[in-house]
């Protein structure tokens, strides 16, 4: 818990545009006293291609202390259990052998049908028969309903935390997208925990890897979910239209209780009209148009410990748009003037989020502290949404939709960020909100953040990326060097088919050169050394500053990011402080005697790669505040927020 003295000033800043949803999907209280609460919405278990059992994953993420079999638990505040769509052979009540968990040996469905395991009995594999013998597979809609949902219900009640049943949608026409539908989910209600049927139905109808054409049936063997569009031969633009249809389906049925957030969006390269991979800017515009209150952003890569001397952070290869990651972000969000700035330049409600994409620790087991692949949810990445006195899964979606959220790596800052501004009226607006001001009016911006005393890094040696500039900074002690305040003009929404709506894209580093909003710039860079600094009783450091902007005749936005890396750090940042391609980090040797042996070696010397790279190169991103002249029409971010408010009011009258 953070001291109350540090959060007195946060009342206005942490006030969300919280819109009540059509249903309350689980109710509980996050009793940590912080204005924001940390979660993760993208992770995997053995129901698809993860390494650990679904129940084990929930325990490690939600519990405190140390797991019974070993390994730190991460006590995350809220959690969305996600998995790919499609099907799987493994009984996901068991982990893989590579996870290295004593007494937990893998099983396939053919081994366990009819047995009661972890309180769950699977009597048959439903839908279109899929495989034979040991290769028999369960369709994901069934594992959502009959495996994951009972485990979500049990763990929600055990830990008194909000847990959501979600999905990593394998998207027609593209790669992957995080989706959740919380209507019907009330896992904290022991008397009536609800069901995850709506989430399962979406997966069945719209997932590219789910080729079941039957789905669940009633007592007369009639299909319960008719109308599925076959995936056979569906690629490119035709497949993309199915993804738009799926988003519109969510908007029509669950406009306040679902989300569509494309993930690792650069990884598969640019959109390909003869394949199913990649996203260009027009596809995000299409999704936001089809789902104005459900498709409201994108997610950064995950897989943060995969970086080698050839790239690889986030599973990005040199063929990804941008050619790799930049400060553990994809180029769409890391580049000033990039795709995110292009979407914001239209005034869209389009925000960014972070999550773990947990699968495995690579060459290490699930209980080990080191990783050459992924981090556990809550270990390295945290997505913060506003806390409430009676926190529910609806608050997770409301917080994400409102834009009042921020993302951190390596606990670079804690759960009490202030990022707010006001005009002459003195009314504070925070992330996702809009200030209405007259041209020439002064916009006062206030920012404050707490740098914790420690993070989850197992390494206490000094950051090797900072050795060339003679800066000593232990990897297990977070630090902020500076904050960038990035602005861009808003020129209005581009209509489908109009010039500039579709933008030619490129794979590799050529994709890093595309500018979507030429007005975007680092307007101000605030060094931590120039901020007001207070040391808190627990040893953490409170940094704060106030600055001003001037409203003009054109609307604009202000977003922020911060990092532990100074500008012009060789192989890490350019002279302006922008992150370089992360594969450049591997040009730096890890010379400390404590550098782990698993690092990539170049000419026999360990270089900054894998988990050491992730703990060395740390950033946070805060969503934007918008500024609009009083004479200018409302921005799309405002009209879509108003739409959500209207839908909520309508739902409350039912």
Give the closest residue to 383 by CA, choosing from 411, 361, 350.
Answer: 411
Contact between residue 314 and residue 328 where contact means Cβ atoms under 8 Å apart: yes
State residue 465 phi and psi, 5-degree precision. -65, -20
pLDDT of residue 651: 87
Contact between residue 18 and residue 644 where contact means Cβ atoms under 8 Å apart: no
pLDDT of residue 311: 83
pLDDT of residue 312: 83
Contact between residue 199 and residue 164 where contact means Cβ atoms under 8 Å apart: no
pLDDT of residue 652: 85
From the CB of residue 439, how many other CB atoms can be counted at a distance below 10 Å?
A: 13
Residues 333 and 335: their CA atoms lie apart, in Å, by 6
State residue 428 phi and psi, 5-degree precision. -70, 140
Residues 246 and 240: their CA atoms lie apart, in Å, by 10
pLDDT per residue as tens digits for the range 365-395? 999 999 999 999 999 999 999 999 899 999 9
How far apart, in Å, are the Cα atoms of 183 and each of 194, 195, 257, 389, 652?
9, 9, 6, 21, 14
Counted residue by residue, the chain has a size of 654
Residues 480 and 565: their CA atoms lie apart, in Å, by 8
Contact between residue 445 and residue 423 where contact means Cβ atoms under 8 Å apart: no
How far apart, in Å, are the Cα atoms of 416 and each of 161, 430, 542, 553?
20, 13, 10, 33
pLDDT of residue 79: 98
Contact between residue 269 and residue 319 where contact means Cβ atoms under 8 Å apart: yes
pLDDT of residue 26: 42
pLDDT of residue 23: 34
Rounded to the nearest 5 degrees, what angle is found at the Cα of 481, between the Cα atoms of 476 and 487? Answer: 130
Q: What is the DSSP string of 148-178?
A: IHHHHHHHHHHHT-EEEEEEEEE-TTSSEEE
The pair of structure tokens assigned to 596 is 């782990």
pLDDT per residue as tens digits for the range 92-121? 999 999 999 999 999 999 999 999 999 999
The pair of structure tokens assigned to 167 is 């999905």
pLDDT of residue 20: 31
Mean pLDDT in consecutive groups of 10 residues from the start of the chain, 654 residues: 33 30 41 89 96 98 96 98 96 97 96 96 98 97 98 97 98 98 97 98 98 97 95 97 98 98 98 98 98 98 96 93 98 98 98 98 98 98 96 97 98 98 98 98 98 98 98 98 98 98 98 98 98 97 98 98 98 98 98 98 97 98 98 97 96 82
pLDDT of residue 30: 53
From the CB of residue 132, how many other CB atoms can be counted at a distance below 10 Å?
A: 9
């Amino acid at each position: 818990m953070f001291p109350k003295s540090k959060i007195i000033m946060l009342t206005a800043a942490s006030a969300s545009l919280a819109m009540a949803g059509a249903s309350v999907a689980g109710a509980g209280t996050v009793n940590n006293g912080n204005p924001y609460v940390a979660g993760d919405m993208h992770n995997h278990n053995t129901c698809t291609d993860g390494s650990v059992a679904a129940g084990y994953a929930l325990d490690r993420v939600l519990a405190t202390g140390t797991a019974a079999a070993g390994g730190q638990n991460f006590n995350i505040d809220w959690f969305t259990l996600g998995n790919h769509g499609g099907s799987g052979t493994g009984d996901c009540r068991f982990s893989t052998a590579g996870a290295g968990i004593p007494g937990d040996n893998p099983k396939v469905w053919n081994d366990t049908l009819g047995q009661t395991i972890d309180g769950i009995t699977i009597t048959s594999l439903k839908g279109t028969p899929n495989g034979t013998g040991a290769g028999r597979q369960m369709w994901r809609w069934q594992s959502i309903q009959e495996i994951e949902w009972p485990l979500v219900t049990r763990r929600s009640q055990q830990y008194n935390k909000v847990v959501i049943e979600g999905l990593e949608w394998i998207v027609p026409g593209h790669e992957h997208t995080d989706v959740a539908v919380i209507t019907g989910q009330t896992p904290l209600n022991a008397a009536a925990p609800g069901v995850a049927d709506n989430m399962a139905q979406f997966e069945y109808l719209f997932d590219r890897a789910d080729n079941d054409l039957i789905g669940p049936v009633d007592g007369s063997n009639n299909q319960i979910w008719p109308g599925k569009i076959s995936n056979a031969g569906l690629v490119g633009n035709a497949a993309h239209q199915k993804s738009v249809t799926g988003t519109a389906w969510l908007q029509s049925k669950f406009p306040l209780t679902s989300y569509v957030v494309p993930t690792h969006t650069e990884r598969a390269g640019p959109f390909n009209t003869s394949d199913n991979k990649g996203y260009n800017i027009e596809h995000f515009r299409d999704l936001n148009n089809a789902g104005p209150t459900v498709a409201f952003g994108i997610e950064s890569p995950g897989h943060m410990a995969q970086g080698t001397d050839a790239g690889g952070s986030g599973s990005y290869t040199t063929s990804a748009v941008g050619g790799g990651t930049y400060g553990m972000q994809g180029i769409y969000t890391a580049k000033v003037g990039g795709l995110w700035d292009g979407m914001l330049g239209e005034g869209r409600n389009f925000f960014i989020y972070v999550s773990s994409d947990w699968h495995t620790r690579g060459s290490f087991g699930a209980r080990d502290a080191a990783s050459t692949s992924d981090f556990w949810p809550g270990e390295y990445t945290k997505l913060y949404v506003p806390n409430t006195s009676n926190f529910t899964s609806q608050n997770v979606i409301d917080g994400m939709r409102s834009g009042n959220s921020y993302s951190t790596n390596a606990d670079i800052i804690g759960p009490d960020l202030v990022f707010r501004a006001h005009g002459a009226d003195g009314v504070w607006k925070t992330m996702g909100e809009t200030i209405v001001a007259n041209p020439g009016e002064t916009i006062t911006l206030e920012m404050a953040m707490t740098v914790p005393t420690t993070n989850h890094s197992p390494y206490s040696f000094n950051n090797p990326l900072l050795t060339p500039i003679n800066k000593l900074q232990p990897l297990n002690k977070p630090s902020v060097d500076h904050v960038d305040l990035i602005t861009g003009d808003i020129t209005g929404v581009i209509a489908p088919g109009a010039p500039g709506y579709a933008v030619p894209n490129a794979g590799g580093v050529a994709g890093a050169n595309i500018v979507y909003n030429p007005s975007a710039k680092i307007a101000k860079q605030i060094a931590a050394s120039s901020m007001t600094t207070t040391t808190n009783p627990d040893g953490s450091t409170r940094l704060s500053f106030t600055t001003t902007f001037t409203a003009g005749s054109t609307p604009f936005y202000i977003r922020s990011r911060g990092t532990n890396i100074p500008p012009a750090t060789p192989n890490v940042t350019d002279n302006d402080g922008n992150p370089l391609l992360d594969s450049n980090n591997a040009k730096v040797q890890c010379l400390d005697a404590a550098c782990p042996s698993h690092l990539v070696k170049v000419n026999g010397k360990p270089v900054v790669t894998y988990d050491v790279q992730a703990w060395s190169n740390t950033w946070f991103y805060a969503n934007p505040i918008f500024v609009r002249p009083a004479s200018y029409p409302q921005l799309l971010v405002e009209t879509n927020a108003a739409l959500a408010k209207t839908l909520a009011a309508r739902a409350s009258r039912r």
